[in-house]
Every structure is written in C-alpha cells, then in structure tokens.
C-alpha cells in the first residue's frame, strides 16, 4: 500500500530532508511565504542547504521575529542562495543575508525574476537547459558573444554566437555592479 502524502505536522514533512539539499521556497514578499516550512527546517537542522526563492527576507512588513530564510542563514544551515532580490526594501532594514554574504560565509546567485521562474518550471518539466537573453545588449554583456532565438542578434546589431565561442555566463553575484562585471568576465 502506498504511503500517504498527508502528514500530521511540519516537522514530519521535513524530517527526512538531508544535508546538502536544494529547496525551493514559494511566496512573493510576504504573500505566500512558507513560514511554517522555514520554522520546521530551522528546528530540523539540515546543513549545507541551497535555498531557491524570490528573496531572502519577505519585505519590510514581515514581523522581525517571523520565520524566514534568515532563520536558516543565522543557524548556518545555508551554503548558497539563488534568488531575484537580495536588497532590503527599506534603507533602514538590515538583512542577515547581506551580512553573511559580505563576510564570505554564504554564496549567492542573483537571477532575474523571470529567469528564476523559468529555471524552476524547466527543472520540474525535466528540461536540463534553456537560453534566455538576460543582459544581452547591456554593459554586462560588452565584449561577450551573444545569441538570441530567430537571429534577433543581427536585427539588434549584436554579434551572434558561434559554436566555438563561449556563451554569456550567468551572473554569480549582484551585490555590486563591479562584482557582476567580474563574474561574467571570468572564463
């Protein structure tokens, strides 16, 4: 008989998540944030997690003591964050993520929001890779090969990619523009 997918607690739902897991978190700002999942994972204690989410905090309206990804970061459970937003929504707001990133205690991939959504959709559909023209035609792409679907590079006066040239590498960090430029210029 198959095991039921209905569980009695959040703790039971996360009990078998091993160290090194990649976990996707839903929600946009405060709306739909899985606070029960954050709290259960913080209590469960899995380490070396890669957290994929729209952002690391949930907006300035989230109570400061509410369970967020910051709980996992503060517990040293997160090794990497893949998200669309890393900056606070208010100048006075301090993020745990920023502190850990600046000290080199956590890795970060800043990904455009639409690209992040497509990565998650593609992964769920079993699609191993896709192309998106993010950064094409911007300062970040200067001097790099580019490609878009249906030869639109030539229409936009961009150089088309050839099989022997390297594609634009995804941005590994966006804490500063100089960090972003160095991230894509690294071979």
What is the CATH number for 102?
Answer: 3.40.1080.10
Q: 55 and 108, same structural domain?
A: yes
pLDDT tens for each residue of 50-103: 999 988 887 677 787 889 899 999 999 999 999 988 877 777 778 899 899 999
* Any domain includes 9: no
pTM: 0.71
Number of domains in the chain: 2
Name the DSSP letter for residue 1: -
pLDDT tens for each residue of 88-146: 777 777 889 989 999 999 999 988 888 898 888 988 899 888 877 777 778 877 777 66
Cβ neighbours of 118 (radius 10 Å)? 15
Tokens for 89, please give them: 């929504």
Q: 143 and 112, same structural domain?
A: no
pLDDT at 158 over 80: no
Q: How confident is the model at residue 8 (pLDDT cuts 50, 70, 90)?
A: very high
Name the DSSP letter for residue 176: S
Q: 159 and 104, same structural domain?
A: no
Owning domain of residue 41: 19-130
Dihedral, 82, 83, 88, 94 alpha carbons, nearest 10 = -20
* Any domain includes 70: yes
Q: 49 and 140, same structural domain?
A: no
Least confident of 30-39, 44-53, 118-127, 176-185: 176-185
Q: 102 and 77, same structural domain?
A: yes
Residue indicated by tokens 């972003």: 180
Question: What's CA 84's distance to the chain center, in Å?
Answer: 6
Q: How confident is the model at residue 155 (pLDDT cuts 50, 70, 90)?
A: very low
Q: 119 and 150, same structural domain?
A: no
Q: Cα–Cα distance between 134 and 168 in angstroms, integer?
A: 9
What does the pLDDT read at residue 177? 41
pLDDT at 43 over 80: yes
Q: Are 39 and 68 in contact, with CB atoms under 8 Å apart?
A: no
Q: Cα–Cα distance between 46 and 20 in angstroms, integer?
A: 8
Cβ-Cβ contacts under 8 Å for 91 (sequence gap 6 or more): none
Cβ neighbours of 98 (radius 10 Å)? 18
Residue indicated by tokens 């929001």: 113
Least confident of 17-21, 34-38, 54-58, 176-180: 176-180
Q: 139 and 82, same structural domain?
A: no
Q: Cα–Cα distance between 157 and 89 in angstroms, integer?
A: 36
What does the pLDDT read at residue 186? 39
What does the pLDDT read at residue 148? 53
């Amino acid at each position: 008989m198959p095991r039921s997918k209905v569980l009695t607690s959040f703790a039971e739902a996360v009990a078998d998540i091993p160290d090194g897991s990649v976990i996707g978190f839903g929600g946009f700002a405060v709306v739909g944030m899985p606070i029960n999942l954050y709290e259960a994972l913080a209590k469960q204690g899995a380490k070396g997690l890669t957290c994929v989410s729209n952002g690391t905090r949930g907006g300035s309206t989230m109570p400061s003591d509410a369970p967020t990804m910051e709980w996992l970061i503060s517990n040293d459970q997160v090794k990497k964050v893949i998200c669309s937003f890393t900056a606070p929504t208010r100048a006075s707001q301090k993020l745990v993520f920023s502190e850990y990133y600046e000290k080199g205690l956590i890795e970060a991939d800043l990904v455009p929001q639409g690209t992040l959504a497509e990565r998650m959709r593609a992964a769920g559909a079993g699609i191993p890779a896709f192309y998106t023209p993010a950064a094409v035609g911007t300062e970040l792409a200067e001097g790099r090969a580019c490609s878009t679907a249906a030869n639109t590079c030539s229409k936009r006066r961009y150089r088309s990619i050839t099989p022997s040239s390297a594609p634009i590498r995804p941005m590994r960090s966006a804490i500063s523009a100089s960090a972003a430029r160095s991230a894509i210029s690294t071979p």
